[in-house]
Structure 1
Amino acid sequence: MTSLKYVIKLTFEVEGSVDKPDVIGAIFGQTENLFGQEFDLRELQDKGRLGRIVVEMKTKGGKSEGYIEIPSNLDKVETALIASMVESVEKVGPYNAKFVLKEIEDVRAEKLKKIIERAKEILATWTREKNLDIKEVMNEISGAVKTGELIEFGPDRLPAGPDVYSDPNLIIVEGRADIINLLRYGYRNTVAVEGASGKIQQSVVDLAKTKKTVIAFLDGDHGGDLILKELLNSNVKIDYVARAPVGREVEELTGKEIAKALSNMIPLTQYLKKQQEVLASPQRMEEAQSQQAVQLVEQPKKEIEIQIPQAAIEEIKKLPGTLEGIIFDENWRPVEKVQVRDIISKLENMSNGNVSFIVFDGVITQRLLELASSKNVKMIVGVRIGGINKKPENVKILTLSDVIGL
């Protein structure tokens, strides 16, 4: 589960002798459809928004009691609603039960407290060197705190700064790491489009229309060019373009480098005109043709790498809309068909080497990726890719549209 925010902690009493599966079953069963599919606990777990429900209990004198912990990556309002739903459970099996919320622990707040206390210890015991810039030291420490200001914007839960709604100016960047680095240096009016992977999210298009000034702050490499292309193809209103130094990424720039890049931003029309002039030069045209030739060579190479037998393709075509998945062996023979919500637990119990490919009608999460990597899974195919902070090198990721052209 990525970016754990809260832990819901409850106690419970049951007027009878029950087991852990009975308690967990009661929670899932009596909260189902209370607030629609969006707040179905199994669905939230499949998407990595809720963690595994932990139950500790004991039975004495014919009665059962214990406590429950539910990790949450939802926002405060949604987490509070989940806590209230679980607290409403009235029966476990045939017995009356009472669930009481004890607290909702803010994991990030506790982490920040520890970071700050540790920073105080470091500063108290640090022998200062001649050239030590104490201002830079404090900036690095405060950067860890400012990371906690990161918010999620729009229905796609895009990484953003806390002033993305209120500030009249907007800085659009590529990814989450860029937002964190900009927050470190006080830039709070930011939103990330999470890579060039097709059409830019409609929420970003609408947000840009409401801002007086919109700046596309791009990496100094080909990826930056791709992001700008996606922004323009999606009709995002862009007023200015700023670039990181050649070969550098926004996420790795210092405060001075960010300030310099933004001070050197130029109007979009001027930037595009300048790009056309560069492309028109004979040397640049030759480089472009060379690059195109490389891409044409790489294209069939990629298709060979992801080649899937036709028999497996036919099985995969049946998956959309079923909320099911298929686990394949190394020869693309089906090992087992499972419900999406059971893929994590099923994979946990399988031996390394027994599964090579997973295709399912759900969202590819960080938790699933890490588990698949530990089980030596070669490829995962899902409906879409969720918020992935770190991609294991030994697992290939594709969407169903890549495979069957949805």
Structure 2
Amino acid sequence: MISLKYNIKLKFQVDGIVEKTDVIGAIFGQTENLFGDEFDLRELQDKGRLGRITVEIYPKGNRADGEVIIPSNLDRIETALIASMVESVEKVGPYNSKFELVEVEDIRAEKLKKIIDRAKDILTVWNKEKNLDIKEVLNEISSAVKVGEIIEFGPDRLPAGPDVEKDPTLIIVEGRADIINLLRYGYRNTVAVGGANSKIPDSLISLSKNKKVVIAFVDGDHGGDLILKELQGHNVKIDYVARAPVGREVEELTGKEIAKALSNMVPLQQYLKRQEMPVQLAESSQGVVQAVVQETEQKKTEVPIVIPPQILEEIKKLPGTLEGVMYGNNWEQIEKVQVRDIIPKLETAEDGKVLYIVFDGVITQRLLDLASEKNVKLIAGARIGGVNKRPKNVTLLTFSDLFTS
């Protein structure tokens, strides 16, 4: 079977009524010996280099229009030459004619396109079908088993692991999803408090006091700190604190991440000292917010930084703008800048000229070190990130510190 490469498609007009055989005869007759026997159409057909010529005729009054298709197994140059030869046909029978190339269709390209389109259809249908994914099956079975292992502890029916009462070590987490995730990786001595806004039940307080070791495993966000604060406020015994990576929740951690967080747990007092903010907010009798810097040495000294109400109103407008404001003495505005320009602007500023910076961005170690060098007194930002060393001469605040009661 001949594997053809191209279809030569031509259209023609004849100034008279003719038959298909007249057109085919004209093509063979008027192209014969134009380029020798090598390009004789009959010879090429006999050798399988050209396919069967098909003709369609559409009579229009006293003339005929039509189409010719010549399949070709020649190369591109030879195929182009054949097309040009057919275009040279000037008569069909006794009538004048005009042949014009419409296109040379690449049969293989069209075939490939059809194959690709069909493959897409097959894949689309395939994806819609229910595939048996062994990982999904195992996860589904595992999740079902772990959920089945969850028990309800105490009269408040707290979500807990099956070993919550008999294991000498207790892990306290926030919610049911945390329990499920810990069970998935074999941690069965767990109990959940039910969220940052939940009341700590007496049953959990009693349980913690009967345990040899109690670990508070909190999320790596502000909510985690609230949970820990709530537990402390209700006198829940806590020996160690483990924390998920910054911005992550216990329920989404992998087995390795859980193991790492628990291995990095620290005693409660050490954790509190590490997390201790050097700033507290207080509201004066005049309604002015003050930032009180505390030095936890032999004695505490208070150096109030008063943020005027009108400045607080301006700060409230910053979230979402990616802008910042630099202030000088008495909170006089020096310049309003884009967040990305704060460090370059501060680098070129005179020492002590910029005293306060508030901006809709992350307070970084680089900015903090530069602010300390430039004698900036206070920096307030959207959040604090990657700060390992806090200079004593710079007060740090976040927007949540300023506006969360």
For this structure pair, what is the TM-score category when the shorter chain's length is used for normalisation? 0.3 to 0.5
Higher relative contact order (CA 8 A, sep 6+): 1
Query: Which protein is bigger by CA-based radius of gyration?
Result: 2
TM normalised by structure 2 equals: 0.38
As a proportion of its length, which structure holds more helix?
A: 1
